[in-house]
Chains A and B, each alone.
Chain A
């Protein structure tokens, strides 16, 4: 791994990330460091910084621009004083999810999990939860491509057990 694509000697250091399909992405160092996985790659290995290309075998290049965009915007939101209005963050988040298929969402959750960034993972898992809220069991199975591995008896037993639990949250 010696491809030196981050030769730009401007103030902001760049790190090269290699997506699963081999495509390279040049990313400003602070943005790259939002990803714990990338960060851990360099921990105790600062010399490698200059020329290292970080392979992200679990993230497809299709999702990289969006993910990087998320990090850039959210780290900017965090730094800004006074903090940005809730509507601005909400608008960005909504636009981020717009036009993302269920499949893309799942892949991005896996990517976020692989990249080990809590903020992105939290955001995406909540989005996934919102998409399966108030949906039937069959819909959820289709959504995630899950096969029903219960026997009818088992399923009936779980349904009976679930009857004991109250719907609705119990806050205190």
Chain B
């Protein structure tokens, strides 16, 4: 809604308005105490002003407003830019009316549920003729749209900037036509596209790839590799997300790494066949600021250390080690050494100890957000070290770690900028200490569940313990001196005699969180 109300006001007429006393009309009272106004209060509001009110309403409320009167119907229709439609095949006959009414739509979502037949090529082509200024299109479950429909769409809506499709059946030809015709395309997001087959047409760089395309996101594709030439051919790619796609991604990353001027800033790799070879390739992209390595069990300390050495601009790092124990202190110490810009660190199922956390706390003065989840090696000593050294820290999340009240107490005196702390599934932490911490630090938001553990979680976790990998054991073995923490734990849990046993039993409950997505940690 770019319009300002002033645009409708004619400066000359502004002083000619009638005073409100005359405008306001009478109020007629009915016997049942119902007050009915006899004249429309909105008739004096310019359309833009009414549209202003509408912009604060969601689509449900807007739908109701459209039924109020003819003027409102019209104002709502022409001011609606974002529209989400049920993309059932029966919508076809309503399309002319819908798009005459919503003539200004620039962001369109078409969703079809699993049980219905989706709209077809004809409908999509009709829409594309009505909405030639579309900037965003989102398709979900539109299974009856084919390459043919998408090709026509791309030819009609050349100003498209963002395409997102999920669970559709069209294929490479459709995507290629969008990339060729929509030369302003900036973002493409493809999830479960079933029409992309092995050995079929490749998805290649088109006009968009050489100029405007900045973000590619691929999710759950069986033949994700068909996008190889698009990924490697996009000149100004800034964001690359590949999530659960089959294929050998080391190769694709290798090609990117060998480019001279890679512009990549953000890389997400999740559940992929990618190893240290791929990470080494990423280390050749010097602009990378945001890196997520999630559940890629072949990635190890060596690869991540290489990235840390070369990508000194790194600001956000998320690692879900998936309990493979291949990424730990060694890589994190390298991160501490080289990436002093680090602002956000998320470690899930990574057995980091105070050795690496001390290094990070000391060398990354800008660290504002830290999440430590499902890690058996993170205990009170680690929290104490964070508390005393992470001066910039604003948000801290600890889930399923072997900490106790002592660790939480340590936070009462440290991290002067801490705004929010979340502690979940830490059995050693009592609810009393949360109240105590709140008392100590008034403005701090403390979010704590008192270590309840879902028995189901525990049983699932039992089967997931992975063997330790030689060379990694050092990180888990006893630190030089068994400090107060160990004694405390012995009392608290009454189980352990030496620290190198600690990770295993802890893992029982620490791993309950292993599958959490990174995003809800901070």
Contacts and interface: CB of A to CB of B under 8 A. Distances in A.
Contacts of B53: 109, 125, 128-129, 132
B97 A121 contact: no
A122 B16 CA distance: 24
A36 B39 CA distance: 29
Interface residues of B, number: 62
Contact of A129 (B15, B56, B138, B164): B56
A113 B9 contact: yes
Interface string B82-107: 11111000010010011001000001
Contact of B40 (A125, A136, A146, A166): A146
A169 B9 contact: no
Contacts of A5: none
Contacts of A130: 56
Contacts of A172: 138, 164
Contacts of B70: 149-150
B86 A164 contact: yes
Contacts of A36: 6
Given A58-B17, A107-B24, A137 B61 contact: no
B464 interface: no
Interface string A17-54: 00011000000000000001100100000000000000
Nearest to A62: B20
Nearest to B44: A110
Nearest to A140: B68
A57 B20 CA distance: 8
Find the residue from A36, A130, A144, A162 having the highest chain B CB count within 10 A.
A144
A58 B19 contact: yes
B2 to A, nearest CB: 12
Interface string B9-50: 101001111111100110000000001111111101110010
Given A21-B21, A165-B85, A145 B67 contact: no
A103 to B, nearest CB: 7
A116 B68 contact: no
B63 to A, nearest CB: 4
Contacts of A164: 85-86, 91, 94, 98
Nearest to A148: B69
A89 interface: no
B58 interface: yes
B69 A146 contact: yes
A113 B49 contact: yes
A160 B14 CA distance: 40
Interface of B: 4-6, 9, 11, 14-21, 24-25, 35-42, 44-46, 49, 52-61, 63-70, 72-73, 82-86, 91, 94, 97-98, 101, 107, 109, 111, 138, 164
25 contacts: A57-B16, A57-B17, A60-B19, A116-B9, A118-B5, A121-B49, A128-B53, A129-B57, A132-B53, A133-B57, A135-B64, A146-B40, A146-B69, A149-B69, A155-B67, A159-B67, A160-B94, A164-B91, A166-B85, A166-B86, A167-B63, A168-B58, A168-B60, A169-B58, A170-B109
Top 8 closest pairs, chain A to chain B, by CB: A145-B37, A129-B56, A20-B19, A167-B60, A170-B84, A162-B63, A166-B84, A58-B17
Given A107-B20, A145-B37, 20 more contacts: A36-B6, A57-B19, A110-B45, A113-B46, A114-B14, A114-B17, A118-B5, A125-B49, A135-B61, A136-B64, A137-B68, A145-B38, A157-B97, A159-B67, A165-B59, A167-B63, A168-B58, A170-B59, A170-B84, A172-B164
